[in-house]
Chains A and B, each alone.
Chain A
Amino acid sequence: QSALTQPASMSGSLGQSITIPCTGTNSDVGGYDHVSWYQQHPGKVPRVLIYDVSDRPLGVSNRFSGSKSGNTASLTISGLQAEDEADYYCISYMASVTTTFHVVFGGGTKVTVL
């Protein structure tokens, strides 16, 4: 299963903004608007932050926003707070005529708040 590419780690200072990229191909991220983002604190259950590239579920802070350009989707965290220190994962629908599965995951990005 091909993985979406995310940087292994990123850091930002309190109050700053950080943008996490998630790069795929025109068969997944670039071809469809079904990219979602998840936050996972150590030992906790992943929580959805963004779906369909830029939609936010009820209850998710508007400090989290999503976008896409070409084959790269991005999650932006504005006004970084200490509690934003976590792992972040992207997931995308993937079209394929050669396989029977249609989903691809990113490897995750560990965000450190300085």
Chain B
Amino acid sequence: QLQLQESGPGLVKPSETLSLTCAVSGASISNDNDYWGWIRQPPGKGLEWIGNIFYTGSTYYNPSLKSRVTISVDTSKNQFSLRLSSVTAADTGLYFCVRIVSTWYRLFDPWGQGTLVTVSS
């Protein structure tokens, strides 16, 4: 059974870089069918797509975050990562990693449990 699990610091200082990793178990991240993505949710707000990556390293980012976002993949460890630089309080929220079935974005499943990141000094 495919499972995703986020890990990383729950507290990040303003202007620093948020770094999260998503460990994938139960299937190989190196398949030609799926993207691997990050989605976040500010407190009390809706879902926001951050970006996604193919196992070859091809990346796709939300233009509103593109200048600050880097998503990378480590196929040897079957995991992918998110870095978001120059964070502010507006970056506080729940961060989910997710498998995106098909390059047509057919469905987002499964999701990780989510990790709460707070930006505060």
Stretch at the interface among A9-17, A18-26, A96-104: A96-104
Q: Is residue A79 within 8 Å, beta carbon to beta carbon, of the partner chain?
A: no
Bitwise, B40-54 to A at CB < 8 A (1) or not (0) is: 000000111101100
A45 touches B105 (CB 8 A): no
Instruction: Pick from A38, A51, A101, A107: contact of B60, CB below 8 A.
Output: A101
Among B46, B48, B63, find the residue whose CB has the most chain A CB atoms closer than 10 A: B46
8 Å CB contacts to B: which residues of A28-64?
32, 34, 36, 38, 40, 45-46, 48, 51-52, 57
Q: How many residues of B contact A (CB 8 A)?
A: 25
Query: What's the interface size class on A, roughly?
Result: 20 to 34
8 Å CB contacts to B: which residues of A61-114?
87, 89, 91-93, 99-103, 105-108
